[in-house]
Structure formats: C-alpha cells, structure tokens
Amino acid sequence: MAHASVASLTRTIESLLTSNSPMQSLTCDHREEISDLHAKISTLEVVVKNYEKNNVCGEMTDFKVEVKEVASAAEHTIQLRVTEVVLANDEKTHERLSDTLQLVAEDIDRIWKVSTKIQDKGKQVSAGSLVQDFSSSTNNILNVNNNMVGRDDQKERLLENLTGNYSGEPKVIPIVGMGGIGKTTLAKEVYNHESILHHFDVRAWATVSQQHNIKKILLSLLQSTIKMDDAIKTKGEAELADMLQKSLKRKRYLIVLDDIWSCEVWDGMRRCFPTEDSPGSRILLTTRNNEVARDAGIENLSMQMNFMNQDESWNLFKSAAFSNEVLSFEFETIGKKIAEKCHGLPLTIVVVAGLLKSKGAIEDWESVAKDVTSFITNDPDELCSHVLGLSYNHLTSDLITCLLHFGIFPEDSEIPAKNLMRSWMAEGFLKLGNDLEAEAEKCLQELVDRCLVLVCKKSLDGTKIRSCKVHDLIYDLCVIEIQRENIFIMNDTVLDYSYSECRYLSMQKMQPFKRVTGDEIDYCPYGLYRELLTPVHRQLRDHDNNDLLKRTHSIFSFHLKDSYFSGLQSELIHFKLLKVLELRDILIDNFPVQILSLIWLRYLSLQCHVNLDIPPEICKLWNLQTFIVQVPPVFIGRSVLITYPEEIWGLMQLRHLKVSKFYLPNPPNVSADKGSHMGFSNIQTISYLSLDCCTNEVILGIQNVKELGINGYEINFNSIRDSGLLNNLVHLQQLETLSFIGCFPLFPASASAFPATLKKLMLRFTLLSWSDLDIIAELPNLEVLKVMDYACRGEEWHPNVRRFARLKLLLIEYNDLKYWKATDDNFPVLERLVLNECRYLKEIPIEFAEIHTLQLIELTRCLPELGESATRIQKEQEDLGNNPVDVRISNPYDEFDDDEDDNDDYDDDDDDDEENSYVDVAKDNDNEDSDADAAERDDN
C-alpha cells in the first residue's frame, strides 16, 4: 500500500507543523525545509491515491513499491532525527535533522519525476474505470447480514425442530455448510424469533471459531445464564463449566455454538450441558465439518445448507444493492446476470451487491458482470475468494488500510468500534482535521455498507456501531494481503511461566513473522504481546533495519493474565517510534517514566489498581490523542483516583481522556491576562471527571467536548455546597452526551444549567428523586435518557405536564419503582422503551398505547405482570388501527428466583465497555438484529 505509507508520512510532517505543537520551538530553524517537504509529499499523496484508484498496470507495480519504500524509510528516519533533537537539542542533532530533510526532499523529487511519466500514461487509461471514490449514503444503510432474505422453508423447519415436543435428553441440531453459505445468519434469525423468545427459559450464544478458546466460550454462555461479576472471569475452565451446568439445570435452554471446526471442541463442551431435568432443551451448532455434525447431532434433525436458487439469489442481491427499490429493465437484466454468476453463495452475493450499491452507471454494472464472469469456477471456495478479492480491489486506498487492520486481532474477535477507530487515528490512516471521529465513522460505515464488515452491536437508539467483526473468509484475506503488500510485520511475543523470562519484551525475544494462532493461544498462560513492525527497507541502513525495537510502531496485549508491569517497563525507552501502546491487561502501581520518552505516542492505554499521580513530564507526549487508564474488573468498586498535573493541559492533540475517576487542576494562564487559560482544543471525550473539578476554568478548557462523564463518588459536598459547579456545564456548547455516576445532592435546579445541545443523558447511582426528572424533561433536544442502577429513589413516578419533547429512547433499570403514571403527552415521540430488572413495577401506563411513534417495548428480568401490561398496550394499538408495538420479553423475573439467576444484559452503551478490553469475549448472545441491543457498560 503505497498510499498508506505516504499518508502516514504526511501525518508525521503535519504534526511537526501544527501551530500548537511543542516541537515548533525545537524545529523552528527547519520550518522552511519542513514546509517545503510537506507541500511535495501532500501533492505526491494525491497522485498516488489516484494511481491506486485507477489501477494503472505494468510499470505502476514497481512504482508503488518504490514509493512505499521511500515514504516508509523517510518517516522512520525523520522521526529518529526529531527524537534526537528532543532528547539532546544540540548543534549536531540539528545538523543531522537538516541533512535528513534534504535527502528526503531529493528522494521525493526523484519519485515525482517518475510519477509524471506514469501520470501521462495513466491519462490514457479508460475514464470508465470501475475504481471510483464513491461515498455511500449514510442515510440509507442496509446491513443485509442482519436481515435474512430467502431460506424460508429451512427457517420454518428449523423453528419446528427447536420448539417441537421431543422427550428425553436435549436435542443437538447441526447446521452444516461451507463458509459464506449463511449458517450463522440462519441461526441468528431463529435465535431472535418471537416464538423462540417465548419458548425457552434461557438463550445463550457463543462463537467458537477455528482459533477457539474454551474459557471464552464458557464466559460468553454464562453472560446469559447468571449475573456476571468480576470474580467469575478469574475462574478456571472446570469451575466455569460447573457453573454453566448448574445455571442450566431444570430450565428449558437454547444454546448456540457458532462456527465449530472440530469434534474435539464439541466433545469438550458437551459435558457442560445438563441432560436431565431439562426437557425440551436444544443445542444448535453451525459447522463446516460434516464429521462434527455426525458426531454431535441427530441425523434427521441435521440441516444441510445448500446454495440459493436463482430466485433467492436475485432477491438477496436486489435487497442488498437496491433496498428493494423499483428497478429499470436494464439494471434488472444485468443484475440478474450478476446474481446468477455468484453461484448461489450468499456471502459472494452480498459482497458483490455491496460493491455495486453506490454505482449508478449501467456501464459500471456491465464491467462488474464481466469481472465476475471471469472468475467462473466449479470450486465455490475459490469463487468466493475471487469475488472477495474483486470487492477488495475496488476499495479506495484508505478503506483498504482500515479493512486490513482487522487482521491484527484474533480471528472472530468482536472488536469495540471506538477502540478500532481510535487506533486507525493513531496509526495515521486518517487525514488530520477537526473531526477525525466523523471520518473514522464514515470509513467504518463504508466497509459495513459494502458488506465487508459485520455489525455485532449497535447503540440502544440504533444510531452508532458499538462493536463489529469480519467474516473469517475476509479475515483470511486481510492476513494474506498484509503479508503480500508488506504493510507491516506482525510479531507475537509469548509470556511464559518463568518470572525471570516471561515478562520481558526485548530485541532478543522478538522474532519477526512469528505468530501464535489456533490452539497455541491456550498454551500462553500469561498471554502475549502482538507488535507491529515497519518492514525492512532498502532505503534504511542495516543498523536501522536490524534494530527491531526502533522499527516497532504498535504494541497490543492479548489474553494476558495476572501480569504486572515489570520487564516491559525497562524496555519501553528503546521503542522510540511507538505510536500505539495498549497495555490494558497489565497492572501498574506507578506511572512508568519510560513512557515519557515516547514522543510519537498517539494511543496509550494502561491499567492500575491504586491511586496514581501522573508526572508533570506527561507534556512531552505532544502527539497523544487517546489516554486511557482502566481499573481492572476485580478492583471495581474500590476508589481509584488518577491525579493529573497542570502540565496535562499541554497535550494539545488530546482527543479522548478515559479514566474511572480523575482529578484535573485548573489550566494555567496563557498570558498575563488572568482570564485567558490553556485548553484542550481538540477534546472529544472526557470521563470520569471528579465533580469537584467542574470549575469554570476547567469547563472552559474543555468547552469543545462532545461526551462528558462526571463522577460524584467520595466528594466532600459541604466544601462545594454553594459553589454551583454543575451550573458551569452550560458553557459546553458542543456537548451531546452527558453521564453522571455517584451521589449528586447538588443536582441543578433548572434545565438552564445544561447546554441546549445535549442529546443523551445517563444517570447511574445518582440517588435522585423521580421528581427531579421533571427538570430533565425540559431539555429541548434530549433524545436518549438512561436511568440506571438506582439513579432515582422512590416507589412512584408521576411526571408533571412538562413533556420530554424529543425523547426517543427511555431505559430504566435496577430501581424500586412500583407505580408509574404517565400519559402519551409526557412522551409524545417515544420510540423505544427498555425496562430491565424493574422487579416491583407491574404496569406500564396504558396511555402509552396512544404514542403513535412507539416501536419497541423490551423487558428483561421483569415481573410477568409487566409483560402482560406490555401485551395490553400492543393489543390496544392494534384496536386503534396503529402499527402494533414490538414487545420483547426475556427471562421474566419470578419473585422467588434466586439472585444467582440474575442477568446483566443491559449495559450502558454510550460509556462503552470497549475501554475494558480491546478485544473482549464476543457477546453473541445479544440480539445483533435489534436496534435496542445493549452494548457494553463502561466500568470505569
């Protein structure tokens, strides 16, 4: 990827020229050289992007290799020289930087001359080239992966097999077929079917995959069967298996094990499921392996997934490419030919449809039809690979880079979207600007629209992607392309038993191209580090190529257990060019001072279990965009305070500051004028800021923030009782999402204390009265309200005549509410009502039947009477001639239930659990098709 290398170099040069960069004073003598170089590289970036877009052949391939070599070597060398200037700042280091800039400029000039010749040749290429920089409409999103088209007969048969009256042991039903045939889609369709929701007491889903992990499978299933606490995650496989079996006893359960590859996995899991006292229970498997199906299932219940017929193929293609719009005869004719050439393989159909979704010219369709025809083969696997490659080659260069990044995660990982996008920013994939997050979201949505990325979870209001993954065939494509394009080298360093050896990551331990896959991961008792290294380049000296630590630009931790920050700490100083340092699974008890020398760091994630003071030298990390300090699960509930120094305000590039609770001092003055203070001009997310830090100076310093969390735990309210701190929030005119956690006796008495821009509000453990919500009702643009974990006290809620004028989603969970009286006037545009663990509430106001916009009522662990109330509202709507509300009830609460059967499905999705683990256990038991699907809770 020549463009990716040039783009990364451009981002590095831009960071040196940023007006508020601390590097300005150090590089002022070289500013003219750097500016000239930036102009040349920016022009080259556009040219290379157009070359890759137009797919010029022949000489183009050699040219791309040359550009990539020069750009990567230039960035590497410039970063080293600038680092020397920062550390020494003497005449010699400045001379070396000047020499390097001159040599890089000469290389760019040489490349530019070659590009001019090829550019002339490129003008002769047909203007009708398929690869165009289309942008999909974000207002018309169709995620066909979550909406099954066709397969009606198989779906009905499967529903009958799942709910039929079979006696004896739980029945195992395998769904068998090749990759991309639609096994998982069919399983999800029935898993979330209304008849299944009512038929089974418990439903649980786990994705197994080729690189399986038994403990993760057990944890994924347990999330739906018991109330998960942090101690459970530390237990061994045997204990977890025993807990799972006990939680399923005497219940009618449905277990889905998706993507099983071997009989050994099934043999290891089957003992976890009780065979007695569980009549009517079912275990649904999806597998490519007929041997697994024969070993696990009953022959007459096994379901073989066949290729789609011509009509089904066309219906799926039309749904994916056109959202079932009316088509002209020309498009329908060529579309049917394309669908037919996909040989009935659903994954191939939706990928090709995704490719064509944004192409409005019939000539483009005809060209794709020819390309698909050229890939005709009798081997469906080979056909699928060809078509995936076709769609991949039609991506723009920036989308290719973002897609390939999925290849660094373990296969079948469900990846939190925010962490994924923040790492894209840190790696330099996205052009610097005021709204990097919007650009990242656009790229992710584009990949979803093209059916290359699967959405696993959305926010409760359905507007945001919370987590995602790629199909395993696309994952394989990513890994192959990373190696073929020589984009970076992945290296895995395993941590073993020996304390003296296992925790050290050094040049001697690093072996390029070494990767841990499959079952090997289970034999990494302390987990592993995955490093991303810059490839070897002819442009670099042998010394620089051989220095693996200097070539390392990212470090991620996976599957780490019981690890404390020791050996790696001393080595960090040698990773001079590190951009991403993700160590959320390694406990620290003091801030590693070695990190302070990593001046190119953009993404830093740590984990601590004690109060932590960040040193003043933190201001040296002038490139830092994301700073996360996480409290490990076993320490949640313990008061851990992170204290930042005044110098933190010097991190002018900071965009995301995520900490369980932190103290932020007032910003320093920027001039003799005491009313003028420093501020985070690029800040997007801050949580959780200690309540006593909400001074006028701090709030003005973060006035561009869009998401803010405030922590009110362990605050001396007597000292701030008359301060009116929360009234300062009115200055946050960009704020859209606000979260309060902890006791808030000083809650504002008027909605005027909040910015009018506020769209989402989450209250948790705030111990307000229900009447306080009348204040919130006055917020003019509030669309989402979450009242969680005893946010409000009391048994009665009677909203007054004030209206939640724009509220679309209301989530209420864990409270003592018994009586709720409200009318449709109180919630005139409500679309979704989600009630979780409302164990005393027996009735939803019947007036909700008159809310014409109401689409969904979802109840989890609530009394049966509340479910009956929701059903009455549904019937009342039908009687009124309205579209009836969708009522979903899961795990009804029995007043005599034991606490261990609690479920904890509904978590906050704005303050995302993606900060808890970069790649966590995939929560496939959640309804991926549901817009009201709960994403993750932020346990910060």
Residue 924, pLDDT score: 34
The Cα-based distances of 317 to 146, 339, 742 in angstroms read: 14, 6, 50
CATH code linked to domain 1-120: 1.20.5.4130
pLDDT (0 to 100) of residue 313: 78
Is residue 320's pLDDT more than 70?
yes
pLDDT of residue 226: 82
Give pLDDT, residue 688.
Answer: 92
pLDDT digits (tens, 9 = 90+) for 260-292: 887 878 887 888 888 777 778 888 888 877 777
Q: Name the nearest CA neighbour of 899 among 833, 848, 839, 844.
A: 839
Q: Write down the residue that tokens 């150090």 correspond to.
A: 26
Compare 343 and 315 and report the one with higher pLDDT: 315
Is 331 within 8 Å of 362 (Cβ atoms)?
yes
Position 822 scores a pLDDT of: 94
pLDDT at 845: 95
> In angstroms, rounded to a whole number, what is the distance separating the alpha carbons of residues 444 and 859?
31
* CA-to-CA separations, 470 to 77, 347, 453, 688, 894, in angstroms, rounded: 35, 12, 5, 32, 39
Find the mean pLDDT for residues 584-598. Answer: 84
β-sheet bridge partners, residue 860: 836, 890
Q: State residue 773's pLDDT score.
A: 94
Domain 525-535+548-667+678-683 has CATH 3.80.10.10: yes
**CA dist., res. 403 & res. 391, Å (int):** 12
Tokens of 530: 């995955």
Q: What is the pLDDT of residue 177?
A: 77
Could you tell me the CA-to-CA distances from 280 to 162, 202, 203, 221 in Å, in that order? 8, 12, 13, 19
Compute φ and ψ for 387, nearest 5 degrees: -70, -40
- Minimal CA–CA distance to 343: which of 390, 303, 309, 304? 309
Nearest to 316 by CA among 286, 351, 359, 287: 351
Least confident of 189-193, 232-236, 363-367: 363-367
**H-run or E-run covering 888:** strand 886-890
Region 661-677 average pLDDT: 76
- Provide the pLDDT for residue 20: 59
Per residue in 873-906, pLDDT (tens digit) is 999 988 877 778 899 998 887 654 544 444 333 3
Confidence of residue 126 (pLDDT cuts 50, 70, 90): very low
Measured between alpha carbons, how far is 179 from 183 in angstroms, rounded to an integer? Answer: 8
C-alpha angle 391-392-396 in degrees, rounded to nearest 5:
105
Question: Structure tokens of 225?
Answer: 């069967």
Burial class (CB in 10 A: 0-12, 13-18, 19+), 39: exposed
End-to-end CA distance of the chain: 38
**pLDDT for residue 432 is more than 60:** yes
Q: Give the tokens for residue 712.
A: 């009110």
Spatial CB neighbours of 525, under 8 Å, sequence gap ≥ 6: 495, 496, 497, 561
Q: What is the DSSP letter of 652?
A: T
Rounded to whole angstroms, the Cα distance separating 579 from 899 reads 45
Percentage of the chain with pLDDT > 90?
A: 26
Name residue 183's amino acid: K
What does the alpha-carbon distance between residue 169 and residue 166 come to, in Å, rounded to a whole number? 9
Is beta strand 282-287 parallel, antiparallel or unpaired with respect to 171-176? parallel
User: Span 302-321, mean pLDDT?
Assistant: 77
Comparison of pLDDT for 764 and 895, the residue scoring more: 764
Name which of 38-42, 251-255, 302-306, 421-425 the model is least confident about: 302-306
The predicted-structure confidence for 796-820, as pLDDT tens digits, reads as follows 999 986 789 999 999 999 999 999 9
Q: What is the mean pLDDT of residues 673-688?
A: 81
Across the range 562-576, mean pLDDT stands at: 64
* Segment 830-867, tens digit of pLDDT: 999 999 999 999 999 999 999 999 999 999 999 999 99
Instruction: For residues 216-234, give the mean pLDDT.
Output: 82
> Residue 119: is it exposed, middle or buried by C-beta count within 10 angstroms (0-12/13-18/19+)?
middle
Cα 554 to chain centroid distance, Å, stands at 18
Which of 156-165, 347-356, 485-494 has the largest mean confidence?
156-165
The 10s digit of each residue's pLDDT in 172-214 is: 888 887 667 778 888 888 898 888 888 888 899 988 877 677 8
Number of other residues whose CB lies within 10 A of the CB of residue 626: 26
Angle between helix axes 346-356 and 310-322 (nearest 10 degrees) is: 30
Mean pLDDT value across residues 382-391: 60
Q: What is the mean pLDDT of residues 380-395?
A: 62
Domain ranges across the chain: 1-120, 151-304, 315-484, 525-535+548-667+678-683, 759-896
Average pLDDT, rounded, for the chain: 77
What residue type is assigned to position 205 of the chain? W
Distance between CA atoms of residues 275 and 166, nearest Å: 13
Highest mean pLDDT among 192-201, 615-624, 710-719: 615-624
| pLDDT tens figures, 495-539 | 554 444 444 444 344 444 455 554 455 555 556 778 888 876 655
Token couple for 835? 């009630």
- pLDDT band for position 435 (cuts 50, 70, 90): confident
What is the mean pLDDT of the segment spanning 702-713? 94
Q: How confident is the model at residue 21 (pLDDT cuts 50, 70, 90)?
A: low
pLDDT at 893: 72
Between CA 570 and CA 563 the distance in angstroms is 15
Task: Round to whole Å and give the CA distance between 201 and 453.
Answer: 32
User: Does 245 have pLDDT greater than 70?
Assistant: yes
Instruction: Select the more confidently predicted residue: 408 or 270.
Output: 408
Query: 579-591 b/e with 16+ CB inside 10 Å = b?
Result: bbbbbbbbbbeeb
CATH level 3 topology of 151-304: Rossmann fold (3.40.50)
User: How many CB atoms within 10 Å of residue 311?
Assistant: 11
CA distance 916 to 709: 16
